[in-house]
Amino acid sequence: MKTYEFGDPASGIVLLQPVDDHDLEGIEKEFTAIVGSCNRSIRLVAVRIDDWNNDLSPWEAPAVFGKAGFGSGASETLDKLLGLCSDKSRAYYIGGYSLAGLFALWAAYQTDAFDGVAAASPSMWFPGFAEYMDKNEIRTDTVYLSLGDREEKTRSPVMATVGDRIREAHVLLKERGVKCILEWNEGNHFKDADFRTAKAFAWVLNNKGAMDSE
């Protein structure tokens, strides 16, 4: 598990983000945008994921694009990330884009180690995840959700459910007392991933602990 670190190593705020090679191309721009939006010292730890569809999937699921299905490696990945959260004097936040965003949300159902979740364009279409959220309790109090306004307009009948699922997730989390916003971005799933992820982390940092309605 290779990590890339940005910002102040001594910061009391640590952001954890599972990434692939595409994410790494824009990670420095993302970090600069986060700092500019929240105006505080932070440390971002980007964790390179080797097998995206396996290592970030909470359970096995069939392929919905291409031929690659989904494994069940999320638990092992989470164990590794929790190894980066050993200093209890710091506040840890988890976030990511696409399947990494779904993983971040799922992780907050497994542990109370994270003070907030930044889920940018998460793969809410993932089979069974909406039902999982309904039957379980999240263990953080601040969650950011976003989606591109064209993401649900896809030929894949499974992925086309992403809009309805994320709307339902937003309502469910708010009903359970979580500080949560659902923000819509312009474009499809592949537009401005670095900027959208930066907005997600910045919002969580700026709204942690605030319980006004969105």
Q: What's the gap between Cα 138 and its chain centre?
A: 14
By the 10 Å C-beta count (0-12 exposed, 13-18 middle, 19+ buried), 79 is classed as exposed
Q: What is the pLDDT of residues 21-56, one digit of tens each?
A: 999 999 999 999 999 999 889 999 999 999 999 999
Rounded mean pLDDT, 184-192 = 87
Q: Hey, is 99 helix, strand or coil?
A: helix
**205 or 1: which leads in pLDDT:** 205
CATH assignment, 3-207: 3.40.50.1820
**pLDDT of the residue at 209:** 54
Cβ-contact 118, 144 below 8 angstroms: yes
The count of C-alpha atoms lying within 13 angstroms of the C-alpha of 68, restricted to the half-sphere facing its C-beta, is 7
**pLDDT of the residue at 45:** 98
Is pLDDT at 214 greater than 80 in this prediction? no
Domain positions in the chain are 3-207
**pLDDT of the residue at 202:** 97
Is pLDDT at 210 greater than 60 in this prediction? no
Q: Using CA atoms, how far apart are residues 6 and 199, in angstroms rounded to an integer?
A: 17
> Could you identify the residue written with the tokens 């306004």?
149
Q: What is the pLDDT of residues 56-96, one digit of tens each?
A: 999 999 878 777 789 999 999 999 999 999 999 999 999 99
Q: What is the pLDDT of residues 94-137, one digit of tens each?
A: 999 999 999 999 999 999 999 999 999 999 999 999 999 999 99
Average pLDDT over the chain, rounded to an integer: 93
Q: How would you list the strands of the sheet with 91-97, edge to edge?
A: 3-7, 43-48, 13-19, 91-97, 114-120, 142-148, 179-185
Query: Could you tell me the pLDDT band of residue 213, with boundaries at 50, 70 and 90?
Result: very low
**pLDDT of the residue at 154:** 85
Is pLDDT at 153 greater than 60 in this prediction? yes
Q: State percent of the chain over pLDDT 70.
A: 97
Query: Could you tell me the pLDDT band of residue 151, with boundaries at 50, 70 and 90?
Result: confident
Structure tokens at 17: 């983000």
